Chains A and B, each alone.
Chain A
Amino acid sequence: MKKKYIYILAFLIIAILGYNSVYFKKLSDIKKVKKESFDFKAFADSIYYKGILKSKKTIALTDLIASIRANQEAAFKKHGNRLGIGNSAYFMIKSTGKIIDIKDGIYTIADKKNGVVFIDTKYIFGNDLRDASGLVKLTDFKTNAQFNKVSESLNEIVRNEIIPKETKNVKLGDSISFSGAIKLNKKQTLFTDLLIIPSQIKLQ
């Protein structure tokens, strides 16, 4: 008899937890709502095509390094973008070089003027592109989640649409021109082995 009550109680607990755990909707309704809400993809598209690709703030890597060496504060202020007050800032850079290695989506580039740099074509996530572009402000969004969603959409465009198309015919030994985002720290004194989150890769 006692066992019977335990089973009934367990069933009730499971039923209550289950009722509060899942909900069911028509998939077509969900897709419709997604279309009607703020279109992050369209927003990221416009940031990428109208902003990043045409940005006048994109600086040649050699020029950036030279200007940092000449006057770090001024270079960070003029070319860099950052959200907080830390020592790091993001920069949009461009350069050229020869591919000397391709491993797990990371291209090792021998850049004649700047030594070896790495371009990550696979794990494009984080806020590097969004923050380096300097085109998206936190205050334009109600929540951090929305602000981060812009990064996510921007990364998806580059990762899924741009890079596969542009690297389709690129192979080891090819010379390429590239642009992208890098993060530099004020304490940094060496500017080789930089990791670039690409925005564009072109066969030369």
Chain B
Amino acid sequence: MTISLNHPLVKKSQSLIALFLLCLFISLLSDKFMTSANLWNVLRQISVNVCISVGMTLVVLMAGIDLSVGSVLGFTAAVCAGLLKNGLAFETMDLFVGFTVLGAILVSVLIGLVLGLFNGWVITKFSIPPFVATLAMLTIARGLTMLYTAGIPISNLGTEFEFIGSGWMLGIPVPVWISIFMVLIVVFLTNKTTFGRYIYAIGGNEKAAFLSGININKIKLAVYGIAGMMAAVGGVLVTSRLNSAQPNAGTSYELDSIAAVVIGGTSLSGGIGTVTGTVIGAVIIGVLNNGLVLLDVSPFWQQVVKGFVILLAVIIDKMNQKNK
């Protein structure tokens, strides 16, 4: 039995095939790639991008884009670290409000939600293109991060917090567990709820979705809110891994996240794509980054290669759409 390149099964699994070929290629050139230590390291590294990208998938499925996720990650990470380390001091009341690890994480995720909702509100209320609205938030959140941290990292956040980013549970790194949990939530949302169906409907044809009675603004608001929350979770992972919140954390993460979504087969015009595809996309980006480092490729060339891979993914996406 022969299977042609146009076979639906091949088309459906093209990201997975690309990942397999990439792994094969790198493992032939570097004997360090297929070691368990390196593979766990890759998974640990991509867990941040996975968290951001699954949120981004919902946005892109709705034919939107969120350029602010990197900056939101940076700001929420800084707030999380700041609360954990310094708490809140009220001199006049002689009161100190301290935050446990859980408290600091919850507050930062809530801030992520609020920033995401703000994006959604601006987009729906003023009919501003998502590209512009989230670009504005990118700058706002980065500025807020610099103001909050005064440009200086917030370090030494304690071993309990460090465990989230560096610890192991049942033989698997904790950040990998967290990213799996996030993926499962979003997979459930997209596949098993009406909310998920509405997202696909809006992305497929917004006008038709509106005419069929879907409250588009409400769904958009929720989706951008989720994207903000996911960015905040990514921020917690980055901060705990470094045991430090860097003022420039998350810079250009939005690009890796969009790349993961596109490589994973989600159409930038909305309505088509899956969360699992995005996860494969994030793994491809992670493996590519890791492979280029192992092969001692200059960081400047790494960017060029990554750019071409994204371009290739978009071209394949366009060709698939044309064939349909």
A27 near B106: Cβ-Cβ < 8 Å: no
Task: Name the B residues within 8 Å of A20 (CB-CB).
Answer: 100, 102-103
Residue B89 lies at the interface, judged by CB distance under 8 Å to chain A: yes
Residues of B within 8 A of A (CB-CB), count: 25
Whole-angstrom CA separation of A27 from B98 in the bound complex: 10
Residue A6 lies at the interface, judged by CB distance under 8 Å to chain B: no
Q: A20-B100, A26-B95, A30-B89 are in contact. List 4 more A-B contacts (CB 8 A).
A: A17-B102, A22-B99, A25-B96, A125-B152
Whole-angstrom CA separation of A26 from B94 in the bound complex: 6
Assuming A24-B96, A28-B94, is B103 touching A152 (CB within 8 A)? Answer: no
Residue A23 lies at the interface, judged by CB distance under 8 Å to chain B: yes
Which one of A21, A27, A122, A123 lies within 8 Å of B95 (CB-CB)? A27
Residue B153 lies at the interface, judged by CB distance under 8 Å to chain A: yes
Q: A16-56 CB contact bits vs B (8 Å, 1 = yes)?
A: 01001111111111100000000000000000000000000
Residue B302 lies at the interface, judged by CB distance under 8 Å to chain A: no
Interface pick from A111-119, A142-150, A166-174, A188-196: A142-150
Task: Name the B residues within 8 Å of A122 (CB-CB).
Answer: 151
Whole-angstrom CA separation of A20 from B107 in the bound complex: 13
Residues of A within 8 A of B (CB-CB), count: 22
Residue B251 lies at the interface, judged by CB distance under 8 Å to chain A: no
Task: Name the A residues within 8 Å of B99 (CB-CB).
Answer: 21-22
State how many angstroms separate the Cβ of A202 from the closest Cβ of chain B.
25
Task: Name the A residues within 8 Å of B100 (CB-CB).
Answer: 20-23
B residues contacting A by CB (< 8 A) are: 89-91, 93-100, 102-103, 106-107, 151-153, 155-159, 162, 243
B96 near A27: Cβ-Cβ < 8 Å: yes
Task: Name the B residues within 8 Å of A21 (CB-CB).
Answer: 99-100, 102-103, 106-107
State how many angstroms separate the Cβ of A102 from the closest Cβ of chain B.
17
Task: Name the A residues within 8 Å of B243 (CB-CB).
Answer: 144-145, 148
Task: Name the A residues within 8 Å of B103 (CB-CB).
Answer: 20-22
Q: A149-189 CB contact bits vs B (8 Å, 1 = yes)?
A: 10010000000000000000000000000000000000000
B155 near A148: Cβ-Cβ < 8 Å: yes
Which residue of chain B has its CB nearest to the CB of A30?
B96
State how many angstroms separate the Cβ of A93 from the closest Cβ of chain B.
24
Some 5 contacts from A to B, beta carbons below 8 A apart, are: A25-B95, A29-B96, A123-B152, A143-B159, A145-B159
State how many angstroms separate the Cβ of A172 from the closest Cβ of chain B.
23
State how many angstroms separate the Cβ of A41 from the closest Cβ of chain B.
14
Task: Name the A residues within 8 Å of B156 (CB-CB).
Answer: 145-146, 148-149, 152
Whole-angstrom CA separation of A57 from B18 in the bound complex: 54
Whole-angstrom CA separation of A78 from B102 in the bound complex: 47
Whole-angstrom CA separation of A28 from B96 in the bound complex: 9
